[in-house]
Amino acid sequence: MRSGILAEFDSADALVRAYDRLQHAGYTRLASWTPYPLRALVKRLPESMVPWIMLGAGLFGGGFGYLLQWWCNARDYPINVGGRPLNSAPAFIPITFESAVLAASLAGFFVALGFSGLPRLHHPVFEIEGFERATVDRFWIGIDETDPRYSEELHRELAQMGALRSVRLGGAR
Amino acid sequence: MTVAEAPALELLREEPTGGEPVLLRRESDLAMTERLLSPLWVRWPWYKYAIGLTGLGTVVLAFAVTYTVITGIGLWGNNIPVAWAFAIINFVWWIGIGHAGTFISAILLLLEVHWRTSINRFAEAMTLFAIIQAGLFPLLHLGRPWFFYWLIPYPSEMGIWPQFRSSLPWDVVAVTTYFTVSLLFWYMGLLPDLATARDRAPMLWQRRLYGIFALGWRGENTHWRHYRITYLVFGGLATPLVLSVHTNVSFDFAIAQLPGWHSAIFPPYFVAGAIYSGFAMVLQLMIPARAIFKLHDVVTKNHLDNMAKMLLVTGWVVTYTYLVEPFLAWYSGNQYEEYVQLVDRPLGPYAWVFWGVIFCNCISVQALWSKRWRTSPVLLFLVCCFVQLGMWSERFMLIITSLHRDFLPSSWRIYTPSWIDWTILGGTCCFFLFLFLLFLRFVPFIPIAELKELRHELARSESLERAERVVRLA
């Protein structure tokens, strides 16, 4: 969110109540900033795709790990150890498992960051005076300017919902 | 509800595991954040001495390592038949210590154990630093460490590949994966707190430094949406990973055909031993830190109690293995097995190591049946020292006594470590503490966001319970 109206609340419950009321009133482009995850809010968003991507990456990593070992030890330079099968699956399992976990974790970390739009060291919301308490003990809600129901009336509505204050961020002034 | 009231719902209630609650003080989120971040901003009068001393030890380590690399591993005490000695003992010991960190951060996360929250970052940092020490030993033991990349399958002009049916490449992959995953898991959990540190830092350079490492974290709900689930899946991945790593380490021994090593009990035995020594190390680090930084309200006696119980459980698993090994040796009817397990270990030249192990790992830990010992920091620390010593000696016993009496009595030999061996071991202890002190100085070592979330969740469930009680009365 680059421009719109942001309001500060002093408790998680007040924030969740305000979020509810705005949603009921038909606002769709809402955002919130909280010092810790609030289950009540996170649940309302569509489910994250990151775990599925991790699953895909894990399967790819495991498959790659196995094929690599098979190619090296059974195909390209076969080594006969005591007459055991060249494609000796039990001996290939540890590396297969480890490469699956490694690929899934790398994918999870970077995809979760990417989906969150990070790293991004600067963001317009940091311009707001006092916003730094959003990572400490204050709870912020934001309504994007592109929301169809967006209007300057919001300042008043938010104050009624118990916001400590509301500010205008970016956009046309 | 105002900020001051919010934590007034505070959870001074009993933990389901019994004992004291996991959080004690009633204070606002702001006050708690300030208090837990304050170690980052204030001066520590003793810090320069501690960092200087461990830094000196690290320099000595660097000297010993350089001397070894330049001269060759003939400087060490190992030689045929004891070809694996300190290098592998220390490797297994250090990597085992790391396991408790992952156990706390991953397995207890999945089990939704509340007391994990205050100590998980601490324990994970310990894991990372322990893996660094562990990695050093096989690398040096290569003899020509600059050729370490031969272990990686790359298309070389030699036209051959690593032999993946050996347990050594398994180890390489397991340990590097373990380090990478632990680092990502740790860093991910750290992001919200780095952002908090960025936003509370008093100096501009500190704001910039923490700002860079926080990657611009804002705590937006879309961040949390991906973060929460990814963190949980990370926990799910790290759980089998931690079990697999020490299983792989045990394969170094178990797939060899040497009496004393060739045993199917090794994987679970090694994992239990690893968690045993790891919990001892967590306590050894946490008990002083708790006293120095006055963390008694977030690391309560309940934490000590629970971890002491973990020590007792894993201690008994290890004891059980000590009983099963000689039994299986006798049951197998194999004379070499019988000799190693029933004669050489308890009665041979290294018998004092064997009985020391029994005392440290099986007997001393029984003191923890007493609640007074479990909750007394000093007594618990003492037991942990015994466990740590015992677990190191156990690896000594496993490796040395299985090797030093070969199948041919003519090649029997008594192994003694050289002074370089001891210097490198002591040096890694210093390097470990050095890294740990840097971590304490520059990283928020108690997970602040997670604690606030825990408080919020517990307060919510408490108010729900209270509401239910009112309904029932009505």
CB atoms A48 and B229 under 8 Å: yes
pTM of the model: 0.90
Given strand A30-33, what is the order of strands in its sheet? A30-33, A139-144, A4-9, A165-169
Per-residue confidence (pLDDT) for residue B195, from 0 to 100: 92
* B10 interfacial to chain A (CB closer than 8 Å): no
Residue A4: beta bridge partners?
A144, A169
B385-388: list long-range contacts, CB under 8 Å, 24+ apart: B385/B280, B385/B284, B386/B359, B386/B360, B387/B276, B387/B277, B387/B280, B387/B311, B387/B315, B387/B360, B387/B361, B388/B277, B388/B280, B388/B281, B388/B284
In the three-class reduction of DSSP (H, G, I as helix; E, B as strand; rest coil), residue A140 is classed as strand
Chain A residues close to B175, C-beta within 8 Å: none
Tokens representing residue A101 in the block:
């976990």
* Domain boundaries of chain B, sorted by first residue: 3-42+78-416+444-473
Q: Find out whether B85 and B417 touch, Cβ atoms under 8 Å.
A: yes
Does 3.40.109.10 match the CATH number of domain B3-42+78-416+444-473? no
CB atoms A50 and B159 under 8 Å: no
pLDDT, one tens digit for every residue, chain B (474 residues): 333 333 333 344 444 455 556 666 667 888 888 888 888 888 888 889 999 999 999 999 999 999 999 999 999 998 889 988 899 999 999 999 988 888 888 888 888 787 788 888 888 999 999 999 999 999 999 989 999 888 888 888 888 888 888 888 999 999 999 999 999 999 999 999 999 999 888 889 999 999 999 998 988 888 898 998 999 999 999 989 999 999 999 999 998 888 889 888 999 999 999 999 999 999 999 999 889 888 888 888 888 998 999 999 999 999 999 999 999 999 999 999 999 999 999 999 999 999 999 999 999 999 999 999 999 999 999 999 999 999 999 999 999 999 998 888 899 999 999 999 999 999 999 999 999 999 999 999 888 888 888 888 877 777 777 777 777 666
Query: Residue B131: CB partners within 8 Å, gap ≥ 6?
Result: B94, B95, B98, B175, B178, B179, B182
Task: Choose the mutation target among B34, B180, B222 for the interface with A, i.e. most A CBs under 10 Å.
Answer: B222
Per-residue confidence (pLDDT) for residue B80, from 0 to 100: 87
Chain B residues close to A104, C-beta within 8 Å: 233, 237
- C-alpha A116/C-alpha A31 separation (Å) is 13
Buried (b) or exposed (e) across A7-24, using 16+ Cβ within 10 A?
Answer: bbbbbbbbbbebbeebee
Task: Give the tens place of pLDDT for each residue, A49-82.
Answer: 999 999 999 999 999 999 999 999 998 999 888 8
* B216 interfacial to chain A (CB closer than 8 Å): yes
CB atoms A123 and B218 under 8 Å: yes
Chain A residues close to B173, C-beta within 8 Å: 94-95, 98-99
> What totals of helices (H) and strands (E) does chain B contain, helices first?
17, 0
Among chain A residues, CA nearest to B161 = A72
| pLDDT above 60 (res A157) | yes
Task: Choose the mutation target among A135, A138, A140, A169 for the interface with B, i.e. most B CBs under 10 Å.
Answer: A135
Among chain A residues, CA nearest to B449 = A36
Residue B219: closest CA among A135, A108, A120, A19: A135
* B256 interfacial to chain A (CB closer than 8 Å): no
Chain B residues close to A54, C-beta within 8 Å: 230, 233, 237
| pLDDT above 70 (res A18) | yes
B27-35: list long-range contacts, CB under 8 Å, 24+ apart: B28/A137, B28/B3, B28/B4, B29/A35, B29/A136, B29/A137, B29/B3, B29/B452, B29/B455, B30/A133, B30/A136, B30/A137, B30/B3, B32/B448, B32/B451, B32/B452, B33/A136, B33/A137, B33/B196, B33/B200, B33/B448, B33/B452, B34/B200
Neighbours of B25 (CB within 10 A): 13
Residue B118: closest CA among B339, B282, B299: B299
Q: Find out whether B128 and B281 touch, Cβ atoms under 8 Å.
A: no
Q: What is the mean pLDDT of residues A150-165?
A: 81
CB atoms A116 and B163 under 8 Å: no
Query: Residue B398: CB partners within 8 Å, gap ≥ 6?
Result: B253, B260, B261
DSSP per residue, B333-375: T-HHHHIIIIIIHHHSTTHHHHHHHIIIIIIGGGGGGSHHHHH
Residues 441-470 of chain B whose Cβ lies under 8 A from any Cβ of chain A: 449-450, 452-453, 456-457
